Structure 1
Amino acid sequence: MKYAFPDNFWWGSASSALQTEGAREGETTWDYWFAREPNRFHNGVGPQQTSTFYQHWKTDIQLLKQLNHNSFRTSISWARLIPDGIGEVNPEAVDFYNQVIDELNEQGITPFITLFHFDMPMAMQEIGGWENRDVVDAYARYAQICFELFGDRVLHWFTFNEPIVPVEGGYLYDFHYPNVVDFRRAATVAYHTVLAHAKAVQAYRAGHYAGEIGIVLNLTPSYPRSQNPADVKAAHIADLMFNRSFLDPVLRGEYPADLVALLKSYDQLPACKPEDGFLIAEGKIDLLGVNYYQPRRVKCRDSAVNPQAPFMPEWFFDSYEMPGRKMNPYRGWEIYEPGIYDILVNLRDNYGNPRCFISENGMGVENEQRFIENGQINDQYRIEFISEHLAWLHKGISEGCNCLGYHMWTFIDNWSWCNAYKNRYGFIQLDLETQKRTIKKSGEWFAATALNNSFDKE
């Protein structure tokens, strides 16, 4: 069967500044944490050992062109542009980002630029990070500077990438710095991130720029174990906390009433100011990026909550391992392709069918060298992963969902937070020793799909 996509469909991939650039002036939370606890990072590999985009941006953009990308998302590093978060702009960073943006445009690759991809300047974290409203204002200033510097050539902006992740990692589950376990502080971080987002949107609208502004959310559909009311309620609460806590403010301009009521009943609401509601309503977006990797399967709790334990989302649900599920054993994640369709249908039916695109989807695999044939990684498993997801995406589009593109994570194997290089995701293999880049089988497949705006599948 042939799967053809709409004209002008965005074919591309996504990456981030911290995971690819290397060599930075301003310290981020990741640099700081790695210097103190290198044992928390796979094989002790830290954020200095990236895929060296800072040096190789020109040849890397040629590779993007070779893969027939018509669009590419990366981020600007706040710590590179404004090393202390609030002071002088670094002219070398301006030169670098200008060159990257100009080269992308020159090669016919539309730049999609994210303003914040987990890389808080350490100077901002030292005054409380997203817990501090002063940091919200500093971020709004940083966003405005980016719009002024690059807004004439960048027409697709994203305020945040996966803003729930620093909340979960940094303030609930101890996999990002500052390694806090405190729900109320987590709720404050989430709330202030929404305020920062809204202030950036406000600044963008005030500047009357030619493009559009959005946000990138990692949406994990919450599936109940059964239709038993207790399981359904558990899935609803998981959805409120992990999806709708950001989805509703950015698309509807307000929080779900039942989420607010739930947190209020446990005395976990962040401090709000009277004018915040107006600001959040101003933060409605033009374009939603959807990162989809895995579903969330939940059931009601089987045991009582320990009243002495910290208040956590898991007070309301347990995770559920569906029998017979398909797994990516290297990442420990379930592979569930229809989830991408379910997300799009939910956006169509419950959120007014916003303009959206798949901004990340990907498969991390360990030790891909064992699949080398004639000098090239034959990652047929990645081709199957992408084509299965694209088939469900195609079904959503054919049923009226307003999805405009598909970006894969990622174009070159890159450094990935605490996992470093454990799992490889790229269309292009990176040799860490030599920095040599070699296109994998999946890269050739994607290049052909993008060129034809279609693919064939049995």
Structure 2
Amino acid sequence: MTYKFPENFWWGSAASGPQTEGAADVDGRKPSIWDHWYDIEPGRFFNDVGPTNTSNFYYQYKEDIALMKQTGHNSFRTSIQWSRLIPDGIGEVNPKAVDFYNRVIDEMLANNVEPFMNLYHFDMPMSMQENGGFESREVVDAYATFAKTCFELFGDRVKHWFTFNEPIVPVEAGYLYDMHYPNVVDFKRATQVAYHTTLAHALAVKEFHALEIPEGQIGIILNLTPSYPRSQNPADLKAAHIADLIFNRSFLDPVTKGEFPADLVEIIREHDALPEYTEEDLAIIKNNIIDILGVNYYQPRRVKAKEYAAHPDAPFMPEHLFDNYEMPYRKMNPYRGWEIFERAIYDIAINLRDNYDNIPFFISENGMGVEGESRYRNADGMIEDTYRIDFIKSHLKWLHKAIEEGSNCHGYHLWTFMDCWSWANAYKNRYGLVEVDLDNDFKRTVKASGHWYKELSENNGFED
């Protein structure tokens, strides 16, 4: 069967500044929370590998962008590091950073690769974290100034902008589950960070629209994890609804509809965790909705009704309202510990069609991390990652079905272009279309999936 996609479909990949640029302490960049955390607790990082060098994109960007063209990219998303552009978070703009990002953007355009630029990928400048991070209204305003600065500097060439990547993740990882710095476990502080992140996003949208950039679009990247109930029992259905409210709709509704779900607000009120807010701020959120949505999809969330009550003295967590559920015989990526469930990408698309005014969206991340890929190297030195090709195809089939049924999808970006450093796993799991050899001067080698991706892009689809 032939799977053809709409004309001008965006084929490309996504990455982030902190995970690829390296050069963490050169040309005026100052520490983010990751640099600071690694300095004080390197043992919290996989194999003690920190964010200093990552994939060396800062020095090899020309080679990398040529490889993007070679692997069929017509678009690519990365991020501008706040700690590089405005090293103190507020105040002086770093001219060396402006020069670097200008060179990257110009090189992409010269190779017919459309730049998609994200402003925040978990990388709070340490100076801003010391001022309270997104618990602080001052930091919210500082972020809005950073966003406006980026639009003014680069908006003449960058038309697709995104305020945050997966904003729920710093809330969960940094303020609930002790997975990221600042290692807070406090539901009320988490709701304040989530609310202020939404407000910071809306202020950036307001700044962007005020500039009236021709053909410009601004959006946000959300990791949407459909919540599937164990059964159709009302208790399981309610558990799935609550998980969906907390982990999906907490950001999806305010950025697309301008309002937080009323039943989510009620849950937060019941647990005495309402954030500090003003009516003026709520109006800003209401009046500054997005033009386009990026959807990151990796795995579903499966839940069931609580079997045992939480300990009365335990700090409140979302999981006090539902249990996670492991479906028997689920298909797994054993290296990442994630379920592979391709149909969810269709369910997300149909949900956006039916419940969110068929908002324009694209798949902004989807991918498969595999450990020890060198065992698949052929005699020519290329990694034969046919499993990645199969993974992409199986998701694209469901995405194609959704588009055929009227879903307003404009593209597919794989995570990621080249192997990169990750927050929890360093370089253990590789995701790239292009191999990065850390032991050989960051040598790049296109994998089998990279060659196939070029065919996918050139044919605007595939046969299977």
Please say if 1:187 is aligned against 2:191: yes
Q: Which residue of 2 aligns with 1:258?
A: 263
The answer to whether the Cα contact below 8 Å between 2:21 and 2:53 also exists between their aligned partners in 1 is: no
Q: 2:149 aligns with which of 139, 145, 148?
A: 145
Q: Give the C-alpha shift of residue 428 in structure 1.
A: 0.5
Aligned residues: 457
The one-letter amino acid of 1:6's match is P
1:450 aligns with 2:454: no
2:170 aligns with 166
Give structure 1 stretches of 5+ with no counterpart. Answer: none
Query: 1:14 is matched with which residue?
Result: 14
TM-score, structure 1 as length reference: 0.99
- Amino acid paired to 1:378: E
Query: Which residue does 1:351 correspond to in 2?
Result: 356
Q: CA deviation at 1:418?
A: 2.0
**1:393, 1:276 → 2: CA distance?**
36
Is the CA contact 2:176–2:317 (under 8 Å) kept in the aligned structure 1?
Answer: yes
Give the 5 Å matches for 1:53-452. 53-210=57-214, 211-374=216-379, 375-434=381-440, 435-452=442-459
The one-letter code sitting in structure 2 at the alignment partner of 1:177 is Y
**Counterpart-to-counterpart distance in 1, 2:54 and 2:377:** 22
Per-residue CA deviations over 1:270-326 (Å, capped at 9, x if unaligned) read: 111121221111220000000000000000010012110001000110000001100
Quote the Cα distance in structure 1 between the aligned partners of 2:332 and 2:400: 23
Percent of paired sites with the same residue: 66
1:17 touches 1:75 (CA, 8 Å); kept in 2? yes
Q: Deviations over 1:42-93 (max 9, x none)?
A: 1111001211000000110000000110000000000000001001000000
Distance 2:299 2:180 in 1: 20
1:38 to 31, 39, 42: 42
- For residues 381 and 392 of structure 1, the distance between their equivalents in structure 2, rounded to whole angstroms, comes to 17
State the 1:262 CA deviation: 1.2
Classify the secondary structure of the residue corresponding to 2:222.
strand
Distance 1:39 1:312 in 2: 26
Q: In structure 2, how many angstroms separate the alpha carbons of the residues matched to 1:280 and 1:301? A: 34
SS state of the match for residue 321, structure 1? coil
Q: Residues of 2 paired with 1:372 and 1:385: CA distance?
A: 19
Question: How far apart, in 1, do the equivalents of 2:52 and 2:439 lie?
Answer: 14
Structure 2: which amino acid aligns with 1:122? M
Give the CA deviation at 1:146: 0.3
Q: What's the secondary structure of 1:408's corresponding residue?
A: strand
The answer (yes or no) to whether the contact 1:34–1:46 under 8 Å persists in 2 is yes
Offset from partner CA, 1:355-401 (integer Å, 9 cap, x none)? 00000000000011111112111111111100000000000000000
> Which whole-Å CA distance do the structure 2 matches of 1:247 and 1:194 have between them?
10
Equivalents in 1 of 2:282, 2:88: separation in Å? Answer: 30
Retained in 2: the 8 A contact 1:253–1:280?
yes
User: Conserved in 1, the CA contact under 8 Å of 2:88 and 2:127?
Assistant: yes
How far apart, CA to CA, are the structure 2 residues paired with 1:282 and 1:118?
Answer: 25
Counterpart amino acid of residue 133 in structure 2? G
Asked if structure 2 preserves the Cα contact closer than 8 Å seen for 1:75 and 1:116, the reply is yes
Q: SS state of the match for residue 93, structure 2?
A: coil
Aligned counterparts of 2:109 and 2:143: Cα–Cα separation in 1:
26
Q: CA deviation at 1:154?
A: 0.4
CA distance in 1, matches of 2:355, 2:161: 24
- Cα deviations by residue, 1:217-268 (Å, 9 ceiling, x for unpaired): 0000000000000000000000000000000000000000000011111111
SS of the residue corresponding to residue 96 of structure 2 reads helix
Note the C-alpha offset of 1:26: 1.2
How far the C-alpha of 1:23 sits from its partner, in A, is: 1.1
The code of the aligned residue for 1:44 comes to D
Moved more, 291-300 or 37-46: 37-46
SS at 1:419's partner residue?
coil
* Contact kept? 1:201, 1:282, Cα under 8 Å: no
Q: 2: CA distance between counterparts of 1:119 and 1:262?
A: 29
Q: TM-score, normalised by structure 2?
A: 0.98
Q: Aligned letter for 1:448? A: E
Letter of the 2:5 counterpart: F
SS at match of 1:192: helix
SS in 2 for 1:404: strand
Distance in 1, Cα, partners of 2:324 & 2:61: 42
Q: How large is the RMSD of aligned CA atoms in angstroms?
A: 0.6
The answer to whether the 8 Å contact 2:54/2:421 transfers is yes
1:97, distance to aligned residue in structure 2 (A): 0.3
* Structure 2: gaps spanning 5 or more residues: none
